[in-house]
Amino acid sequence: MIAESMYQELILEHYKHPQGRGLRDPYDAEVHHVNPTCGDEITMRVKLGDGGKVEDVSYDGQGCSISQAAASVLHELATGSTVDDSLGVVEEFTRLMQSRGKIEADEDVLGDAVAFAGVAKFPARVKCALLAWMAYKDAVVRSTK
């Protein structure tokens, strides 16, 4: 029953009680990403401040528990962090998701996002976990242009 290990308590908590959900003003960039196989969707806004500070990450979307919880965890990790630090987390998260479950997650870098380690064993669900994170990366690039 490997799926049980995918549906970590922390993921279910974020799915049932998403943090920072809802689109807010002001923002520097807004992006919309979809996962055509599942119909998962996310709209994400990023507001950057002085010194590369991430002031707000707001989002709205629909989809499975993995995709929605991933957006909520991302909001928590990125808001209040810096562009450089948060993109470092995105990179580590992406590496973990694409590892097919073959690498150890670096909890120091990932924080709560380490709960998604089990998803990496389900290739069909990796796209769900990455949806919000790829949208964030895209939004940050557009914000800094």
Q: Would you tell me which residues interact with other proteins (CB under 8 A)?
A: 1-4, 6-7, 12, 15-16, 37-39, 62-66, 122, 125, 128
Q: Which is nearer to other proteins, 6 or 87 (CB)?
A: 6
37-51 core/surface letters (b: 16 or more CB in 10 A; e: else): ebebbbbbbbbbeee
**Least Cβ distance, residue 38 to other proteins (angstroms):** 6
Cis peptide before 123 (omega within 30 of 0): no
42 close to 61: Cβ distance less than 8 angstroms:
yes
Q: Which is nearer to other proteins, 128 or 130 (CB)?
A: 128
Q: Which is nearer to other proteins, 65 or 82 (CB)?
A: 65
**Least Cβ distance, residue 100 to other proteins (angstroms):** 16
Q: Which is nearer to other proteins, 1 or 50 (CB)?
A: 1
Bridge partner residues of 82 (DSSP): 53
Structure-block tokens of residue 30: 């807004």
**Least Cβ distance, residue 139 to other proteins (angstroms):** 23
**Least Cβ distance, residue 137 to other proteins (angstroms):** 23
Dihedral angle, C-alpha 38, 87, 97, 68, nearest 10 °: -40
Structure-block tokens of residue 58: 């707001």
**Least Cβ distance, residue 126 to other proteins (angstroms):** 12
On the CB side of 15, CA atoms within 13 Å amount to: 16
Q: Which is nearer to other proteins, 27 or 133 (CB)?
A: 133
